[in-house]
Amino acid sequence: MQVRYYDKEQINKLLVVDKPIFVSSNHYLNRIKRKYKNKKAGFSGTLDPFAKGCLIVAFGQYAKLFKYISKTPKTYKAVIWLGAESLSFDIENIASIKLTKQLNYDNIKNNIDSLKGEIKYLPPKFSAKKIDGKRAYELARNNQDFVLNETVMNIYENRLISYNHPFITFEVTVSEGTYVRSIAQILLDKLGEIGTLSYLERLNEGKFFYENEKELDPLEYIDLPINKYFGTQEWLNQGRKISINYLEDKKDGKYLIICEDIFSIIEIENCEVKYLLNKVPKYGK
């Protein structure tokens, strides 16, 4: 008898899972799909295999909402291992380990405190950045030579948690797209030391925190203004074109329309209204 792993009926669900270490985000998503018996799901904010923590997962139509949901700033807890050298700046590709001298606590703290604001940096070669359509980490693993462009990150908060030689533990809050491995290397350069990340945990993405996979209402996280709609839900159900006269706010932009059972995302441009997403079931419907 064949075992059915997935239900045929689609579910609409938004939640945060706690990805464990040494598992890729895609592989862990497959586990979550089997757990909830539904194939149609996606995640936002890839975590490296060696990292753990907050991973936002959405099933069904809620998976289309990621581009409209605020996921910043992101907060991470990280540990630097002094004396360990890695090609990927993490513990997956350790090349050598050397004994290092004890460092001055205040010097570490002052340098961590100084890493705030807008900072230019080079992303690590072992990253998901694309070079001519290929992931940088694929090229790096094949020892191919390439150059990544300098980019900018914002560090909002950065604090030293502890220093137990040879490990420096810190917590940092950053903009989207930031590589904590690069922050660690910038700090190590300031300290005149070599090292690598030995632990990385994402604590949150914006308002998203791990709470035992608690089901979330996406309307609480969509980063768009609500536009009052004076028409009927039936009109939206049929996907019929909306006249701008049925909307309270007529200015150009993207808006959220909320009805009794569904919500839609629209865009107004030159007095024309178009659907970006339509007939998305409300939480609990």
The full length of the chain comes to 285
For residue 200, give every residue at least 6 positions away whose Cβ sits within 8 Å of its Cβ, in sequence order, or none. Answer: 48, 50, 51, 52, 53, 76, 77, 78, 79, 90, 180, 181
The answer to whether the CB of 63 falls within 8 A of the CB of 218 is no
Q: How far apart, in whole angstroms, are the C-alpha atoms of residue 276 and residue 98?
A: 55
Angle, helices 180-191 vs 105-114, to 10°: value is: 130
| 252 classed as catalytic | no
Q: How far apart, in whole angstroms, are the C-alpha atoms of residue 182 and residue 126?
A: 11
Q: Which of 7, 48, 132, 217 is catalytic?
A: 48
Mind telling me the catalytic residues?
48
